Amino acid sequence: MYVGADSLVSLKRAETTNVVGTTTKLFVVSETCCASMENCYGGFIQNPAGGNPTLVFLPAELTRICKNDSAIQEPLAVKIERVVSNFTLPFRTYVSSVGCTNCETRVTFMGFDKDREEFFMWSYVFTGTNAPALNRVWAIGKGDAKGRFVAQGQESFFGTLFSLPPGGEDKLAALRTQQFVKTRNDIDDGLAVPEQEVVSWILEILNADEKWAIPLGFDDRPIGGPYLIVKITGEGMSQLR
């Protein structure tokens, strides 16, 4: 399993101003599992004691939670539930302080569950003060993992890029080079694609999203590098970029 993520975040400083920066948005949950984050990343809240506003930076909170829980020996499903439970507090602290009832953060867990012998993707959506909503996106056995590609995030852009529409207006036709289509087809067919070719293909997708998703009207949320790519197997996880 290969996972790619961008690093762009936008934080609210006030009602009409944002602070834009970059941070790591892939979080190590266990030796065979990572998590990603999208949408709301927190922001500045009023300090009850007065003085300067306090920053609630949700990526830093999730990093801390995952690091604290990483050494605990327990089934991966239990570990994920623990991470979700512990992340709920800083998320609710932020949304309650700024009065944002529709603020939404999606945390997606991806990896290999050794107890179930399967690759999986679970997505939790945190909205306001509601309980996190779980979506078990997919799970496939270790022997059936070849040829699967799932794009989580800007579904409209990715869906159009991979759909290869036979007719009508195709805004992304120029992006589907011969090599792009060949790599995609080889992955679909479960062929042995060289690791560097897969990494280059994922980077091509992310760079295309950054450049074209907003101008062509597919999304209004920008993404940006540096891009991180990790590889997850049944034995462990390694960062490729």
Burial class (CB in 10 A: 0-12, 13-18, 19+), 83: buried
166 to 160, 163, 169, 170: CA distances (angstroms): 11, 9, 10, 9
**H, E, C per residue of 4-67:** EECCEEEEECCCCCEEEEECCCEEEEECCEEEEEEECCEEEECCCCCCCCEEEEHHHHHHHHHH
Structure confidence at residue 13 (pLDDT): 64
How much of the chain is in helix, strand and coil states, percent to nearest 5? 35, 30, 40
Q: Which residue has the tokens 């280059």?
A: 200
Smallest Cα–Cα separation from 152: which of 124, 133, 129? 124
pLDDT in tens, 192-223: 889 999 999 999 999 999 999 999 888 888 88
For CATH 3.60.20, the residue range(s) in the chain are 2-146+221-239
Smallest Cα–Cα separation from 26: which of 146, 138, 153? 153
Which CB contacts under 8 angstroms, 24+ apart, belong to 135-141? Answer: 137/108, 139/113, 141/117
* pLDDT at residue 79 is higher than 90: yes
User: To the nearest whole number, what is the mean pLDDT of the chain?
Assistant: 86
Q: What backbone torsions phi and psi does residue 50 show, to the nearest 5 degrees?
A: 90, 180
Q: Which amino acid is at 125?
A: V
Right CATH for 2-146+221-239 from 2.60.40, 2.20.200, 3.60.20, 3.40.50: 3.60.20
63's CB contacts (< 8 A; 6+ apart) are 24, 27
Structure confidence at residue 147 (pLDDT): 53
182's CB contacts (< 8 A; 6+ apart) are none
pTM of the complete model? 0.88
Structure confidence at residue 184 (pLDDT): 86
